[in-house]
Amino acid sequence: MNNQDPKAGNSKDQKKAAKEKKSTGPEYTGYDLDYFVQTKDLFNAVHKLDQSGFFLEDISCLDMEEGFQMVYHFDRFEQPGRVGLRVMLDRQDPQVPSIYDIYPGAAWHERECFDFFGVRFTGHPNLIPLLLDPDHKGPPPLLKEESERKGLDQLYPDREQTPLSPDDQDFMRKIQECSNLKSRTQS
Amino acid sequence: MSLDLRLDTSGDFYANKFQPTKRDDTLILNMGPQHPSTHGVLRILLEIDGEYIIRAEPVLGYIHRMHEKMAEVKTYAQYLPNPSRTDYLHALAWGWAHVGALERLMGLEVPERAEYIRVITCELNRISSHLLWWGAYLLDLGAFTPIMYAFDDRERIQDILQRITGSRLTYCYYRFGGVSNDIDDRFIEETRVQCARMKERAKMFKDLVTDNFILRKRVEEIGEIPLDTCRKYGATGPVLRGSGQAYDTRRAEPYSVYDRFDYNIPTYDTCDAMGRYLVRMDEMQESINIIEQALNGLPEGDFIHPKAPKRPKPPVGDVYFAVEGARGKIGMHLVSDGSNSPYRLKLRAPGFSNLSLFSEVAQGILIADAVSILGSLDLVIPEIDR
């Protein structure tokens, strides 16, 4: 029992150190670019990623105080680098345009989000349960209790949360230059 | 928000959804969920005209266990055995993705010896996974003998891993900051013997099976997946490399000590089932190559960081960590709220993306070829359903 106290102290120091390091970049998060975009801009942004040769890794979703946060992960074969696109959705009416027309592989990922969170994808050709039983009764399984939900400020305390416009000149240049080479040489 | 999905689930839900068709001279056929060639419980709805497939739609979820919810209700340490239950054939890579995501989030250091041990065991596991795929795929195509040879070698690898990890299939060997058990001289000796043996066996495999005329008829120019289809569906691993793209997470997004080894990424640009077959056969040899280099360079030291947390409580953060599994890119998206269990853990299963392109590829092919294509995708259903 005596050993535990100094250990706890150490892990606290480690945590602090990790927290300070975290802000320094991709080698600690795995993201080379990570943006919030508005729901109406999502299709446009994904279209630009498609033109730059990215493939869709997966589509993830989080239940938060502000609503649902959709996270789209993209990576590239030539010149690898991970891009995350985040969209905030309203809890009362969680709707987001489907990106099936650009990436047909998104169809299953979107059906999975529909299963687990009840998010509706407008324009999806076949939005029916994929992994859950069609007879499943009750709320989607990954919804959190209201008391357990965390807000954006709690989960992402020190990062830019203002949505970026994909029509920005900067956006196109950055995704074209996106590469994990820098983080590779550092780590 | 209405939580009720309001679906009409009377009768066979998926068959009813699939039913509407433009033609009246076709037949709807269920392949699976008990069909032997679907390796588990995958069901595929087919609309067929004679022997030809017009439409195909995989139906998933028969072995869905909601691993992502389990992650949220268990602590990080309690979740350790779970990832290896998703893809039971390459269990160590999934375990690695889990501990790797947390190590990245907490900034934990892993001792060099532990990194080398991880590389050796993970590559051994990759060989055993490819061996089982090889035997089972040929079984699908009607060749019974090769699976006996495959299991002979696979048993030896499992014996080696069992002494160190304590299990034969669903390993739970990696810990936050290292591995649970050090390797010893006997392990090193046995691994070297097995590597030498596998090199000899590769020649026999080639003579017996790969060069076989009957096999070539079944796999050559069957199931061509163009590179752009791979990109649109997010296919990775041997499926992508069989379409000519040299993309491997070990090289593209180097983790651990993989950048210290000299190895090739086998690719074939035939895009067919034979390309994917040959990629896996070559990959086994590359894995042996990596193992031998790692054994030669194995440093002394700790097998787990002395201050590694047993019950980790990471800081608030959002990380993504990817490793190369036998079937492709395994990804873990971990969001932490600072408590001792994840706020959200999303698992990216490579087989999920690889299977999703089947509907497109299956149009207009023979049913017998569909079996060949499904086998060449190397499906592990528990991984796809999670």
pLDDT digits (tens, 9 = 90+) for B25-81: 888 888 878 766 667 788 888 888 889 998 898 998 888 989 999 999 999 999 999
pLDDT of residue A13: 52
Mean pLDDT calculated for residue range A174-183: 73
Does residue A170 register a pLDDT over 90?
no
DSSP A41: G
> How much is the pTM?
0.86
Does residue B318 register a pLDDT over 50?
yes
**Percentage of the residues of chain B whose pLDDT score is greater than 90:** 37
Does residue A14 register a pLDDT over 80?
no
Q: Could you give the dihedral angle defined by the CA atoms of residues B177, B182, B187 and B192, in that order, rounded to the nearest 10 degrees?
A: 40
pLDDT of residue A5: 41
Spatial strand order of the sheet with B52-59 comes to B27-31, B43-49, B52-59
Mean pLDDT calculated for residue range A4-32: 54
pLDDT of residue B118: 92
Is residue A14 included in any domain, yes or no?
A: no
HSE toward the beta carbon, residue B324, CA cutoff 13 A: 24
Q: Is pLDDT larger for residue A135 or for residue B280?
A: B280
Looking only at the bridges linking them, the beta strands covering A33-36 and A83-89 are parallel
Mean pLDDT calculated for residue range B12-37: 77
For chain A, how many helices (H) and strands (E)?
Answer: 7, 6
Q: How many residues does chain B have?
A: 386
For residues A89 and A94, what is the distance between their CA atoms, to the nearest angstrom?
A: 5
Cβ of B107 within 8 Å of Cβ of A58? The answer is: no
pLDDT in tens, B185-212: 999 999 999 999 999 888 889 888 888 8
Q: For residue B379, which of B357, B360, B364, B362 has the smallest C-alpha distance?
A: B357
Alpha helices (H) in chain B, listed in sequence order? 13-18, 67-73, 83-86, 91-106, 112-140, 146-165, 185-205, 213-219, 227-233, 238-241, 249-252, 273-296, 350-356, 358-361, 367-376, 381-385
pLDDT of residue B37: 64
Query: Whole-number mean pLDDT of chain B?
Result: 88
Does residue B341 register a pLDDT over 50?
yes
- Residues of chain A found within 8 Å of residue B353, distances taken between Cβ atoms: 56, 58, 105, 108
Gyration radius (Cα) of chain A, Å: 19
pLDDT in tens, B294-308: 999 888 888 888 888
Cβ of A73 within 8 Å of Cβ of B331? The answer is: yes
- Residues of chain B found within 8 Å of residue A108, distances taken between Cβ atoms: 352-353, 356
CATH topology of domain B67-355: Cytochrome-c3 Hydrogenase; chain B (1.10.645)
Cβ of A130 within 8 Å of Cβ of B61? The answer is: yes
pLDDT classification of B116: cutoffs 50, 70, 90: very high
- Most A-contacting residue of B2, B3, B4, B5 (CB-CB within 10 A), to test interface: B5
Cβ of B1 within 8 Å of Cβ of A30? The answer is: no
Task: Return the amino acid letter for A180.
Answer: N
Mean pLDDT calculated for residue range A137-161: 82
Taking the CA of residue B235 and the nearest CA in chain A, the distance in Å comes to 9
pLDDT classification of A9: cutoffs 50, 70, 90: very low
Q: For residue B266, which of B250, B249, B286 has the smallest C-alpha distance?
A: B286
For residues B324 and B327, what is the distance between their CA atoms, to the nearest angstrom?
A: 8
pLDDT of residue B311: 86
pLDDT in tens, B143-201: 888 899 999 999 999 999 998 998 888 898 998 988 988 888 999 999 999 999 999 88
- Residues of chain B found within 8 Å of residue A89, distances taken between Cβ atoms: none
Residue corresponding to tokens 């416009």: A165
Cβ of B313 within 8 Å of Cβ of A11? The answer is: yes
Does residue A137 register a pLDDT over 70?
yes
Q: Which range marks the domain in which residue A89 is found? A: 29-179
Does residue B10 register a pLDDT over 90?
no
Mean pLDDT calculated for residue range B340-354: 91
Q: For residue B111, which of B186, B185, B175, B162 has the smallest C-alpha distance?
A: B175
pLDDT in tens, B91-104: 999 999 999 999 88
pLDDT of residue B125: 92
Whether residue B366 contacts residue B339, with contact meaning beta carbons closer than 8 Å, is answered with: no
> CB-based contact (8 Å) between B62 and chain A?
no
For residues B117 and B354, what is the distance between their CA atoms, to the nearest angstrom?
A: 29
pLDDT classification of A26: cutoffs 50, 70, 90: low
Whether residue A101 contacts residue A116, with contact meaning beta carbons closer than 8 Å, is answered with: no
Does residue B121 register a pLDDT over 90?
yes
> CB-based contact (8 Å) between B73 and chain A?
no
- Contacts by A6-9 with C-beta closer than 8 Å and gap 24+? A7/B307
Give Cβ neighbours of residue A44 (< 8 Å, ≥ 6 apart).
A166, A167
E strand intervals along A12-165: 33-36, 54-64, 67-76, 83-89, 95-97, 120-122
pLDDT classification of B5: cutoffs 50, 70, 90: low
CA triple B12-B15-B21, angle to 5 deg = 145
In this structure, is the dihedral angle defined by the CA atoms of residues B383, B249, B233 and A49, taken in order, positive or negative? positive
Cβ of B106 within 8 Å of Cβ of A14? The answer is: yes
Whether residue B90 contacts residue B325, with contact meaning beta carbons closer than 8 Å, is answered with: yes
How many C-beta atoms lie closer than 10 Å to residue B77's C-beta?
16
Is residue A33 included in any domain, yes or no?
A: yes
Using a 10 angstrom Cβ sphere, with 0-12 exposed, 13-18 middle and 19 or more buried, the burial of residue B360 is middle
Does residue B111 register a pLDDT over 60?
yes
For residues B173 and B180, what is the distance between their CA atoms, to the nearest angstrom?
A: 6
**Percentage of the residues of chain A whose pLDDT score is greater than 70:** 82
Using a 10 angstrom Cβ sphere, with 0-12 exposed, 13-18 middle and 19 or more buried, the burial of residue B129 is buried
pLDDT in tens, A66-104: 889 999 999 988 888 888 888 988 888 888 999 999 999
B-chain residue closest to A79, CA distance: B252
Is residue A11 included in any domain, yes or no?
A: no
pLDDT of residue B156: 92
pLDDT of residue B293: 92
Is residue A17 included in any domain, yes or no?
A: no
Of A134-148, B111-125, B349-363, B371-385, minimum mean pLDDT range: A134-148
CA triple B237-B379-B69, angle to 5 deg = 95
Cβ of A140 within 8 Å of Cβ of B3? The answer is: yes
What is the CATH classification number for the domain harbouring A142? 3.30.460.80
Mean pLDDT calculated for residue range B355-381: 89
Helix (H, G, I), strand (E, B) or coil at A153: helix
pLDDT of residue B8: 65
Report which secondary-structure segment, H or E, holds A6. helix A4-22
DSSP of A66-88: TEEEEEEEEEESSS---EEEEEE
Mean pLDDT calculated for residue range B332-360: 90
> CB-based contact (8 Å) between B381 and chain A?
no
In this structure, is the dihedral angle defined by the CA atoms of residues B248, B252, B253 and B257, taken in order, positive or negative? positive
Q: How many independent structural domains does chain A possess?
A: 1
- Residues of chain A found within 8 Å of residue B260, distances taken between Cβ atoms: none
- Residues of chain A found within 8 Å of residue B56, distances taken between Cβ atoms: none
For residues B322 and B236, what is the distance between their CA atoms, to the nearest angstrom?
A: 12
Using a 10 angstrom Cβ sphere, with 0-12 exposed, 13-18 middle and 19 or more buried, the burial of residue A138 is exposed
> CB-based contact (8 Å) between B313 and chain A?
yes
Whether residue A131 contacts residue A106, with contact meaning beta carbons closer than 8 Å, is answered with: no
Please state the separation of Cα B116 from the chain's center in Å: 21
pLDDT of residue B9: 64
Query: In degrees rounded to 5, what are phi and psi of residue A91?
Result: -70, -35
pLDDT of residue B33: 80
